[in-house]
Amino acid sequence: MERPPLDIVSLRMAHCRAERAASSGQYHLAVQQYRACLEAAERREDCRAVQFFALQLARCYTSMGLPDKAASFHALGCADENPIA
């Protein structure tokens, strides 16, 4: 599998494709694009972007009726809200 590009323009384009797919109910395409965005954000070591894309994935999986997957991405997206002492 090809690695997602690191440049911000490609990341933004993937994000726009994901939003468009999600808004039209094509969640399988949205998930594919949001996963690419999440991987790129992880490789860029951008914690806020990782959280954002994880929450977008959680929203898509919820809409798809996959609560377990949604919960795992929601936990990743909210990692800073519940710090471990």
Q: Does residue 50 belong to any structural domain of this protein?
A: yes
Q: Does residue 75 belong to any structural domain of this protein?
A: yes
Q: Tell me what pLDDT residue 79 has.
A: 74
Q: Does residue 30 belong to any structural domain of this protein?
A: yes
CATH assignment of the domain containing 68: 1.25.40
Q: Say how many domains are in the chain.
A: 1
pLDDT tens sequence across 31-68: 999 999 999 999 989 999 999 999 999 999 999 999 99
Average pLDDT over residues 7-13: 89
Q: Tell me what pLDDT residue 70 has.
A: 95
pLDDT band at 3 (very low <50, low <70, confident <90, very high): low
Which whole-number Å values give the CA distances from 41 to 55, 63, 85, in the listed order? 13, 23, 26
Backbone angles phi, psi at 65, to 5 degrees: 80, 30
Q: Which residues have a Cβ under 8 Å from the Cβ of 61 and sit 6 or more positions away?
A: 27, 31, 67, 69, 70, 73
CA distance linking residue 18 with residue 32, whole number of Å: 8
CA distance linking residue 47 with residue 62, whole number of Å: 22
User: What domain range is 35 assigned to?
Assistant: 8-81
CA distance linking residue 7 with residue 84, whole number of Å: 32
pLDDT band at 5 (very low <50, low <70, confident <90, very high): low
